[in-house]
Structure 1
Amino acid sequence: MLDHVFITVKDLGRSIAFYETALQPLGIEHVIDYDGKDGPEGHPDLKGFGRDGRVFFWLRQGDADAKAAHIGFVAKSEAEVNAFHEAAMAAGATDNGPPGARLYYDPRYYAANVFDPDGYSLEAVYKSWQHGQS
Protein backbone atom coordinates (compact mmCIF):
# COMPACT_ATOMS: atom_id res chain seq x y z
CA MET A 1 0.00 0.00 0.00
CA LEU A 2 1.23 3.48 -0.81
CA ASP A 3 1.09 6.39 1.57
CA HIS A 4 1.40 9.19 -1.00
CA VAL A 5 2.28 10.08 -4.58
CA PHE A 6 3.52 13.40 -6.02
CA ILE A 7 3.13 14.23 -9.69
CA THR A 8 4.54 17.27 -11.43
CA VAL A 9 2.10 19.22 -13.60
CA LYS A 10 2.67 21.96 -16.14
CA ASP A 11 -0.31 24.17 -15.22
CA LEU A 12 -1.19 23.87 -11.54
CA GLY A 13 -4.50 25.75 -11.78
CA ARG A 14 -5.70 23.65 -14.70
CA SER A 15 -4.68 20.44 -12.94
CA ILE A 16 -6.36 21.39 -9.66
CA ALA A 17 -9.61 22.10 -11.52
CA PHE A 18 -9.31 18.83 -13.47
CA TYR A 19 -8.67 16.66 -10.41
CA GLU A 20 -11.34 18.39 -8.30
CA THR A 21 -13.87 17.34 -10.95
CA ALA A 22 -12.45 13.96 -11.98
CA LEU A 23 -11.86 12.60 -8.46
CA GLN A 24 -15.08 13.90 -6.88
CA PRO A 25 -17.07 10.73 -7.78
CA LEU A 26 -14.46 8.70 -5.85
CA GLY A 27 -14.92 10.88 -2.78
CA ILE A 28 -11.41 12.34 -3.23
CA GLU A 29 -11.21 16.08 -2.64
CA HIS A 30 -8.65 18.89 -2.73
CA VAL A 31 -8.12 19.18 1.03
CA ILE A 32 -4.85 20.98 1.74
CA ASP A 33 -2.21 23.25 0.26
CA TYR A 34 1.33 22.85 1.59
CA ASP A 35 3.70 25.81 1.45
CA GLY A 36 7.14 24.47 0.53
CA LYS A 37 8.89 27.11 2.65
CA ASP A 38 7.57 25.24 5.71
CA GLY A 39 9.63 22.17 4.78
CA PRO A 40 13.30 21.49 4.24
CA GLU A 41 15.21 23.65 1.76
CA GLY A 42 14.00 23.16 -1.80
CA HIS A 43 10.69 21.50 -0.83
CA PRO A 44 8.03 22.28 -3.45
CA ASP A 45 4.65 23.84 -2.82
CA LEU A 46 2.04 21.06 -2.99
CA LYS A 47 -1.69 20.73 -3.54
CA GLY A 48 -3.04 17.72 -1.65
CA PHE A 49 -6.03 15.53 -2.40
CA GLY A 50 -7.47 12.85 -0.16
CA ARG A 51 -10.38 11.01 1.36
CA ASP A 52 -11.36 9.61 4.75
CA GLY A 53 -8.93 11.84 6.65
CA ARG A 54 -5.88 10.85 4.54
CA VAL A 55 -4.06 13.02 2.02
CA PHE A 56 -2.29 10.79 -0.47
CA PHE A 57 -2.25 12.44 -3.89
CA TRP A 58 -0.19 15.60 -4.39
CA LEU A 59 0.37 17.99 -7.28
CA ARG A 60 3.43 20.18 -7.74
CA GLN A 61 4.24 22.75 -10.43
CA GLY A 62 6.99 21.94 -12.92
CA ASP A 63 7.84 20.12 -16.12
CA ALA A 64 5.40 17.23 -16.44
CA ASP A 65 6.65 13.80 -17.53
CA ALA A 66 3.53 11.78 -18.25
CA LYS A 67 5.51 8.57 -18.75
CA ALA A 68 6.79 8.81 -15.18
CA ALA A 69 3.61 7.53 -13.54
CA HIS A 70 0.41 5.54 -13.85
CA ILE A 71 -1.99 6.19 -10.98
CA GLY A 72 -4.79 3.84 -10.01
CA PHE A 73 -7.47 5.19 -7.66
CA VAL A 74 -9.64 2.81 -5.62
CA ALA A 75 -13.34 2.93 -6.41
CA LYS A 76 -15.91 1.47 -4.03
CA SER A 77 -18.21 0.23 -6.80
CA GLU A 78 -18.64 -0.10 -10.54
CA ALA A 79 -20.92 2.95 -10.36
CA GLU A 80 -18.02 5.00 -8.94
CA VAL A 81 -15.78 3.84 -11.79
CA ASN A 82 -18.43 4.93 -14.30
CA ALA A 83 -18.89 8.29 -12.57
CA PHE A 84 -15.12 8.88 -12.49
CA HIS A 85 -14.84 8.26 -16.22
CA GLU A 86 -17.75 10.57 -16.98
CA ALA A 87 -16.43 13.33 -14.70
CA ALA A 88 -12.87 13.04 -16.00
CA MET A 89 -14.02 13.23 -19.61
CA ALA A 90 -16.19 16.26 -18.80
CA ALA A 91 -13.16 17.88 -17.15
CA GLY A 92 -11.03 17.47 -20.28
CA ALA A 93 -9.50 13.99 -20.03
CA THR A 94 -8.68 11.86 -23.05
CA ASP A 95 -10.24 8.41 -23.02
CA ASN A 96 -7.82 5.51 -22.57
CA GLY A 97 -10.34 2.74 -21.98
CA PRO A 98 -14.04 3.10 -21.15
CA PRO A 99 -15.54 1.54 -18.02
CA GLY A 100 -15.68 -2.22 -18.13
CA ALA A 101 -14.20 -5.49 -16.96
CA ARG A 102 -10.48 -5.90 -17.58
CA LEU A 103 -10.62 -9.62 -18.30
CA TYR A 104 -6.89 -9.78 -18.97
CA TYR A 105 -6.39 -9.12 -15.23
CA ASP A 106 -9.43 -10.79 -13.68
CA PRO A 107 -13.15 -10.96 -14.56
CA ARG A 108 -13.89 -9.07 -11.33
CA TYR A 109 -11.46 -6.21 -12.17
CA TYR A 110 -13.66 -3.31 -13.31
CA ALA A 111 -11.93 -0.11 -14.39
CA ALA A 112 -11.90 3.01 -16.52
CA ASN A 113 -8.75 4.64 -17.88
CA VAL A 114 -8.08 8.22 -18.96
CA PHE A 115 -5.18 10.57 -19.61
CA ASP A 116 -5.16 13.82 -17.62
CA PRO A 117 -4.35 17.19 -19.28
CA ASP A 118 -0.60 16.51 -18.89
CA GLY A 119 -0.94 13.01 -20.34
CA TYR A 120 -0.66 11.08 -17.07
CA SER A 121 -2.36 7.68 -17.17
CA LEU A 122 -5.15 7.50 -14.58
CA GLU A 123 -7.34 4.57 -13.66
CA ALA A 124 -10.31 4.17 -11.36
CA VAL A 125 -10.59 0.53 -10.39
CA TYR A 126 -13.08 -1.56 -8.47
CA LYS A 127 -11.81 -4.99 -7.43
CA SER A 128 -14.83 -6.66 -5.87
CA TRP A 129 -12.76 -9.26 -4.02
CA GLN A 130 -11.04 -6.44 -2.10
CA HIS A 131 -14.39 -5.15 -0.87
CA GLY A 132 -15.70 -8.40 0.62
CA GLN A 133 -17.87 -9.25 -2.38
CA SER A 134 -17.38 -11.84 -5.08
Structure 2
Amino acid sequence: MLDHTGIVVTDLAKARRFYDAIAAALELQTADNGEEAFLFGKSAEERIPYLWIGVTRPSYWVEGSRAGLNQMHVAFQARNKAMVDAFHQAALANGGTDNGPPGPRQGAGDYYGAFVLDPDGNNIEACWQGDVPNYRE
Protein backbone atom coordinates (compact mmCIF):
# COMPACT_ATOMS: atom_id res chain seq x y z
CA MET A 1 0.00 0.00 0.00
CA LEU A 2 1.11 3.51 -0.69
CA ASP A 3 1.47 5.84 2.31
CA HIS A 4 3.18 8.66 0.48
CA THR A 5 5.75 9.46 -2.13
CA GLY A 6 7.30 12.69 -3.23
CA ILE A 7 8.85 14.51 -6.11
CA VAL A 8 11.07 17.55 -6.27
CA VAL A 9 10.18 20.23 -8.80
CA THR A 10 12.07 23.27 -10.03
CA ASP A 11 9.19 25.78 -10.15
CA LEU A 12 6.61 25.41 -7.38
CA ALA A 13 4.06 27.80 -8.94
CA LYS A 14 4.18 26.01 -12.30
CA ALA A 15 3.89 22.61 -10.59
CA ARG A 16 0.99 23.82 -8.43
CA ARG A 17 -0.96 24.99 -11.49
CA PHE A 18 -0.43 21.60 -13.17
CA TYR A 19 -1.31 19.50 -10.10
CA ASP A 20 -4.30 21.70 -9.12
CA ALA A 21 -5.72 21.08 -12.61
CA ILE A 22 -5.28 17.31 -12.60
CA ALA A 23 -6.53 17.11 -9.00
CA ALA A 24 -9.78 18.75 -10.08
CA ALA A 25 -10.10 16.36 -13.03
CA LEU A 26 -9.61 13.35 -10.74
CA GLU A 27 -11.80 14.71 -7.92
CA LEU A 28 -8.77 14.97 -5.63
CA GLN A 29 -7.28 17.95 -3.80
CA THR A 30 -4.07 19.84 -3.24
CA ALA A 31 -3.15 21.48 0.06
CA ASP A 32 -0.39 23.80 1.16
CA ASN A 33 2.49 22.22 3.08
CA GLY A 34 4.63 25.22 3.96
CA GLU A 35 6.18 27.76 1.62
CA GLU A 36 8.21 25.22 -0.35
CA ALA A 37 5.80 22.33 -0.86
CA PHE A 38 2.21 21.17 -1.26
CA LEU A 39 0.38 17.85 -0.95
CA PHE A 40 -1.73 16.04 -3.54
CA GLY A 41 -4.28 13.57 -2.20
CA LYS A 42 -7.86 12.63 -1.47
CA SER A 43 -8.88 15.23 1.11
CA ALA A 44 -8.08 16.76 4.49
CA GLU A 45 -10.15 13.96 6.06
CA GLU A 46 -8.39 11.18 4.10
CA ARG A 47 -4.79 12.38 4.26
CA ILE A 48 -3.10 9.11 3.29
CA PRO A 49 -1.94 8.22 0.71
CA TYR A 50 -0.50 11.46 -0.59
CA LEU A 51 2.08 12.82 -2.99
CA TRP A 52 4.45 15.47 -1.58
CA ILE A 53 5.54 18.00 -4.21
CA GLY A 54 8.12 20.62 -3.38
CA VAL A 55 11.33 22.46 -4.12
CA THR A 56 13.16 21.40 -0.95
CA ARG A 57 16.14 19.08 -1.46
CA PRO A 58 15.31 15.86 0.45
CA SER A 59 17.84 14.74 3.07
CA TYR A 60 17.90 11.23 1.58
CA TRP A 61 19.03 12.32 -1.91
CA VAL A 62 22.37 11.00 -3.07
CA GLU A 63 24.99 13.38 -4.44
CA GLY A 64 24.14 14.57 -7.95
CA SER A 65 20.36 14.22 -7.58
CA ARG A 66 18.18 17.03 -8.92
CA ALA A 67 14.60 17.56 -10.00
CA GLY A 68 13.78 15.45 -13.05
CA LEU A 69 17.08 13.52 -13.01
CA ASN A 70 15.47 10.24 -11.97
CA GLN A 71 12.07 10.35 -13.64
CA MET A 72 9.28 9.40 -11.26
CA HIS A 73 6.14 7.51 -12.32
CA VAL A 74 2.92 7.99 -10.36
CA ALA A 75 -0.41 6.49 -11.45
CA PHE A 76 -3.68 7.85 -10.06
CA GLN A 77 -6.82 5.73 -10.04
CA ALA A 78 -9.74 7.13 -12.03
CA ARG A 79 -13.38 6.14 -11.56
CA ASN A 80 -14.08 5.85 -15.29
CA LYS A 81 -12.73 6.55 -18.78
CA ALA A 82 -14.19 10.07 -18.82
CA MET A 83 -12.13 10.93 -15.75
CA VAL A 84 -8.97 9.69 -17.51
CA ASP A 85 -9.85 11.89 -20.49
CA ALA A 86 -10.45 14.91 -18.21
CA PHE A 87 -7.10 14.32 -16.48
CA HIS A 88 -5.28 14.28 -19.82
CA GLN A 89 -6.98 17.47 -21.04
CA ALA A 90 -6.35 19.30 -17.75
CA ALA A 91 -2.71 18.27 -17.72
CA LEU A 92 -2.06 19.43 -21.29
CA ALA A 93 -3.83 22.75 -20.67
CA ASN A 94 -1.70 23.41 -17.59
CA GLY A 95 1.90 22.78 -18.58
CA GLY A 96 1.93 19.03 -19.12
CA THR A 97 3.28 17.21 -22.18
CA ASP A 98 1.53 14.24 -23.77
CA ASN A 99 3.32 10.97 -23.09
CA GLY A 100 0.54 8.62 -24.21
CA PRO A 101 -2.99 9.73 -25.07
CA PRO A 102 -6.06 8.27 -23.35
CA GLY A 103 -6.91 4.80 -24.52
CA PRO A 104 -6.67 1.07 -23.86
CA ARG A 105 -3.24 -0.43 -23.35
CA GLN A 106 -2.46 -3.54 -25.38
CA GLY A 107 -2.13 -6.70 -23.31
CA ALA A 108 -3.38 -5.03 -20.12
CA GLY A 109 -6.95 -6.36 -20.04
CA ASP A 110 -9.70 -3.89 -19.13
CA TYR A 111 -7.22 -1.02 -18.71
CA TYR A 112 -7.67 2.54 -19.97
CA GLY A 113 -4.98 5.09 -19.21
CA ALA A 114 -3.30 8.32 -20.18
CA PHE A 115 0.25 9.48 -19.55
CA VAL A 116 1.63 13.01 -19.30
CA LEU A 117 4.93 14.50 -18.30
CA ASP A 118 4.64 17.17 -15.63
CA PRO A 119 6.62 20.41 -16.05
CA ASP A 120 9.76 18.68 -14.67
CA GLY A 121 9.46 15.53 -16.80
CA ASN A 122 7.92 13.16 -14.24
CA ASN A 123 5.59 10.60 -15.84
CA ILE A 124 2.11 11.08 -14.36
CA GLU A 125 -0.69 8.68 -15.26
CA ALA A 126 -4.40 8.32 -14.66
CA CYS A 127 -5.92 4.90 -15.25
CA TRP A 128 -9.20 3.04 -15.05
CA GLN A 129 -9.06 -0.73 -14.67
CA GLY A 130 -12.67 -1.70 -14.98
CA ASP A 131 -15.01 -1.38 -12.05
CA VAL A 132 -12.60 -1.24 -9.12
CA PRO A 133 -14.63 -1.95 -5.98
CA ASN A 134 -12.38 0.03 -3.61
CA TYR A 135 -12.40 3.33 -5.51
CA ARG A 136 -13.36 6.07 -3.08
CA GLU A 137 -16.90 7.30 -3.55
TM-score normalized by the length of structure 2: 0.80
Name the structure 2 match of 1:40: none
Q: Does structure 1 residue 6 correspond to structure 2 residue 6? A: yes
Offset at 1:17? Answer: 1.1
Offset at 1:58? Answer: 0.9
Specify the SS of the correspondent of 2:3.
coil
CA distance in 2, matches of 1:51, 1:66: 27
Q: Deviations over 1:86-125 (max 9, x none)?
A: 100111211111111112222x111001101100001001
Q: Deviations over 1:26-75 (max 9, x none)?
A: 0121123147xxxxxxxxx5311211422501112053125341010111
CA distance in 2, matches of 1:16, 1:66: 20
- Could you list the structure 1 runs, at least 4 aligned residues long, displaced by more than 6 angstroms after superposition: none
Q: Check conservation: 1:66, 1:121, Cα contact below 8 A.
A: no
Percentage of matched positions with identical amino acids:
38
TM-score normalized by the length of structure 1: 0.82
Q: Check conservation: 2:98, 2:115, Cα contact below 8 A.
A: yes
Specify the SS of the correspondent of 1:76.
coil
Name the structure 1 match of 2:128: 126
Q: Check conservation: 1:66, 1:120, Cα contact below 8 A.
A: no
Structure 2 CA distance for partners of 1:92 and 1:4, relative to 1, 3 Å: same
Structure 2 CA distance for partners of 1:83 and 1:71, relative to 1, 3 Å: same
CA distance in 2, matches of 1:58, 1:68: 15
Q: Check conservation: 2:23, 2:30, Cα contact below 8 A.
A: no
Q: How many residues align structurally? A: 122
Match of 2:52 among 58, 67, 71: 58
Q: Which amino acid aligns with 1:46?
A: A
Specify the SS of the correspondent of 1:10.
coil
Name the structure 2 match of 1:70: 73
Point out the structure with the larger helix share: 1
